[in-house]
Amino acid sequence: MTRVATVMKLQFVNRRTYVGMPLIILSGAFLLAILILLLVPTDELKFAGGAVAAPLWYFSVVGWQALALTFPFSQAMSTTRRDFHLGTLLTAATTAGILATIYLVISLIEAATGGWGMNGYFTIPGLSGSQLPVAALSYFVVAFLLFLFGYTCAAIAKRWGGVVLTSVLTGLSILLTLAIMLTIRTGSWGAVVTWFTTQGLLGTTLWGLLLTVLMACGSYLMIRRVEH
Amino acid sequence: MTKVVEVTNLTKRFRNTVALDEVSFNLEPNTIYGLLGRNGAGKTTLMSIITAQAFASSGKVRVFGEEPYENAGVLRRMCFMRDNQAYPDSAKPDHAFRIARLCFPNWNQALAERLVADFRLPVATPIKKLSRGQLSAVGAIIGLAARAEVTFFDEPYLGFDAAAREIFYDRLLEDYAEHPRTIVLSSHLIDEIANILERVIVLDNGRVLLNDATDDLRDRAMVIRGDNTKVAAFTAGRAVIHRQALGALSAVTVLGHLTHQDRAALAANDLEVSPVTLQQLVVRATQAAAGTAADQGAAR
C-alpha cells in the first residue's frame, strides 16, 4: 500500500497538471458561464450547456501525460507496473472526486437559490434532492472515463506505436459513425432515446462505470507489456 | 559468494535486428563493472531487461536468485539511471530526489545533499529547463544516493565538464569504499573510467566479447614497435589484433603473455614493447570481431 501511495505522490508532483489546470479551467468556465447567463435577458430557464464539460475534456490530456511523462520515471524509481497503475488510477480518482465535489456544491447552491436568483444554471438544471449526488457521481465517472481514455491511448502508443494508435482511433470513429448512420437508416432513434430514458441518469452512469472498469483492466494488460 | 545477477542465454530480437544474441554472464556482489561496447552494441537493452523494463525474446535473468519482473522486493534493490532519463513534466530536481527517497530503502539524504552542492545543481529549477550536464547530474545523484545493491549507470556523464566527471568518479569510489555494492557503468570514455573498473564486460553486436578482470585484460595484450621485418618476424604465428605501419616502422598489437625467451628476442631485435590501454584493447577487440564477421560473410 505504501508503494501505491508513493506512486500517488509521484503523480502529484505534477500538481499543476492534476489540480491547477482543472481548477483554472473549471473556475474560468464557471465565471464565463455566469457572465453570459447574466447577459441573457429572460426569466425563462437558462442553461450554460457545454461550459460545465470544459474541465472534463482536459482529463484525457491528464490521462495521457500520467502515462507518457511519468511512467518512465516510475520505472527508474524501480516501481512495479502494478503499483504504478493502481497509484495512477487512485490519483485520477482523487482528482475526479474533488472536481465532482465542487460540481455538487455548485449544484446545491443553484438548487437553493433557484439558479443564482436568475433561473440560470451552470450545472444540469431541473434536478433536486437525491438527483444532485447522482449528477455529481456521473460527473465523476465521465471525468474518470476521459482520464482512462487518454491513459489507454498513451498505453497503446507506447506499446505498439503511433501508427497503431491512429488506426485504432480512426477505426473507432468509423464504427461510431456507422452506428449513428445505422440508427438513422433503421429509424431507431426513438428506441435509443427510450433506452437512455429507462436507464435514467443513475443507470447510464453505472453503464459508464462498467466501461471505466473495462478500460482500467485493458490498459493494465497493456502497461504490463510496455517496453522501455 | 552468490551471484547478484545471473544472465543466461539472453536473446533480444527487434523486428529486423538481433540486439542481444545468447548473452550469458554473472554479476558478483560488491564489484564495479564496466559495460563497454560501441553504439548499438546492446548495452542499454541489456540493462533494461535486467531491470525488467524491457523483455527478452528468450533466455533468463535472475536477480538475487529471483525473477525481477513485477517483483517489488527485487526491483527496489536495483536502480537504473538512463542517459536520457525522463522526468515528470513539471518536476524539479527536489521533487525527483524526494520521490527517490521514498522508493529506495538505502537512500542517503546527506549524500544527496552533498552531491547537489558538489555539482552546483539548482534544485528548484524545472528539470526540463536544466542544461544537459545538469540533467545528467540529477541522474547521477539519484543513482549514487540510492545506494541500491545493484546500480546501473547508462552514460552517466553526458554533458559533464571535466570537473564534474572527476567529482562523479571521486564520490562514487568514496561511497563505494564505505558501502560496497555492485555498480555497472556503461560508457564510451573507457580510459577515463578504466582505473575504477574492477571487471569489464565488452559487448559487440549483441554478444559478449570480453568478460574479465581489468588487470588481466591489460596483461593480455601488448604493442610491439620497431622495424617492419623484425616486427613481422616476431609477431608471426601470434594472435594479431591490430597492425599499424608508418614507413619502415610498424606497431602491432598482439594477444598473449611474454615468456623470458620472448623478452630476450625483443631486446635482441631492438623491438619496443608497451602495454595497451583498456580503451585500445576494447577498440581493437571490437574491430577484430568486426573483421572476423566480415571475413565469414565474404567466405559465405
pLDDT at B139: 97
Burial label for A177, CB within 10 Å (0-12, 13-18, 19+), is exposed
Compute, in degrees rounded to 10, the torsion defined by CA atoms A70, A73, A74, A77: -160
Write down the ipTM of this complex.
0.87
Specify the 3-state DSSP secondary structure of B158: coil
Q: CB–CB of B152/B51 below 8 Å?
A: yes
Question: CA nearest A10 in B: which residue?
Answer: B99
Task: Please write the tens of the pLDDT for every residue from A133-191.
Answer: 999 999 999 999 999 999 999 999 999 999 999 999 999 999 999 999 999 999 888 88
Length of chain A: 228
Q: For the whole model, what pTM was predicted? A: 0.90
Chain B interface includes A10 (CB < 8 A): yes
How far from the centroid of its chain's Cα atoms is residue A176's Cα?
19
DSSP B66: B
Q: What percent of chain B has pLDDT over 90?
A: 75
Q: What percent of chain A has pLDDT over 70?
A: 100
Those residues with Cβ within 8 angstroms of residue A102's Cβ, 6 or more apart along the chain or in another chain? A26
Question: CA nearest A73 in B: which residue?
Answer: B87
Angstrom distances, CA of residue B269 to CA of B221, B227, B231, B272: 19, 9, 9, 9
Chain A interface includes B54 (CB < 8 A): yes
Higher pLDDT, B223 or A50: B223
Q: Which residue out of A77, A85, A86, A220 would a mutagenesis test of the B interface target, given it has the greatest number of B Cβ atoms within 10 Å?
A: A77
Burial label for A185, CB within 10 Å (0-12, 13-18, 19+), is exposed
Q: CB–CB of B143/B156 below 8 Å?
A: yes
Q: CB–CB of A60/A149 below 8 Å?
A: yes
Strand partners, B250: B226, B245
Contact A78 B88 (CB under 8 A): no
| CA-wise closest residue to B168 among B130, B148, B138 | B138
Confidence of residue B69 (pLDDT cuts 50, 70, 90): very high
Pick the range with the lowest mean pLDDT from A40-49, A182-191, B32-41, B117-126.
Answer: A40-49
Q: A62 pLDDT exceeds 60?
A: yes
Chain A residues whose beta carbon lies within 8 Å of the beta carbon of residue B79: 76, 78
| Cell output for A141 | 465517472
Q: B294 pLDDT exceeds 80?
A: no
| CA-wise closest residue to B91 among A9, A95, A122 | A9
Burial label for B298, CB within 10 Å (0-12, 13-18, 19+), is exposed
Left (φ > 0), alpha (ψ -120 to 50) or beta: where does A130 sit?
alpha
Chain A interface includes B80 (CB < 8 A): yes
DSSP A49: G
pLDDT at B154: 96
